[in-house]
Amino acid sequence: MTSEEENRDPFRVYFAGASLAFGLPFLVIELLALLYGGSEKVLDIFSTLVVALHLVGGLVGGYSAARIAKGDLVRVGTVTGVLAYILQQVVYTIFYGWGAVGDALTMIGLIGGSTVGAALYKSRADAYARIKSRRMKEEKETQDGEPSQ
């Protein structure tokens, strides 16, 4: 690892993942609102799609943050999801006023998606480490002259 990677601020990693987790569904919802006329109308018509977008956004943000972060990756995903939800509330308040508060489904989508994304990365990283160690062991056995099984 380089010194830059060792000194990386974990909050910046969490905030980058949260921005991605919030930004993806926000931009798609605003695009649909532009096409169909109004955010409230989009939320009524595409309510299932909105929850799915928040799940996918959380998944992408949690996975991305887990790739960079060190330590407990499930915690990284959870913190990323909570920050994404806080960011969502701040942006919705700025754009739509005090009455625009995200519902529990978007909160569950962002936090759950981020946690699942981090867990997905953790499982993939563990599988890659097992494959890599198995290959190194096989290469060592073939170099020593022993047949591999």
Q: Domains of the chain: which residue ranges?
A: 3-123
Question: What is the C-alpha separation between 104 and 55, in angstroms, rounded?
Answer: 12
Q: Is the pLDDT of residue 120 over 60?
A: yes
Question: What is the C-alpha separation between 110 and 113, in angstroms, rounded?
Answer: 5
Question: What is the C-alpha separation between 79 and 5, in angstroms, rounded?
Answer: 20
Half-sphere exposure of 108 (CA within 13 A, CB side): 6
* Long-range contacts from 38-44, C-beta under 8 angstroms, 24+ separation: 39/96
Least reliable range by pLDDT among 5-9, 50-54, 82-86, 138-142: 5-9
Q: Which helix (H) or strand (E) holds 67?
A: helix 47-68
Residues 73-101 have a mean pLDDT of 86
**What is the model's pLDDT at position 93?**
87
**What is the model's pLDDT at position 141?**
80
Residue pLDDT, tens place only, 26-81: 999 888 888 877 667 666 777 788 889 999 999 999 999 999 888 888 899 999 99
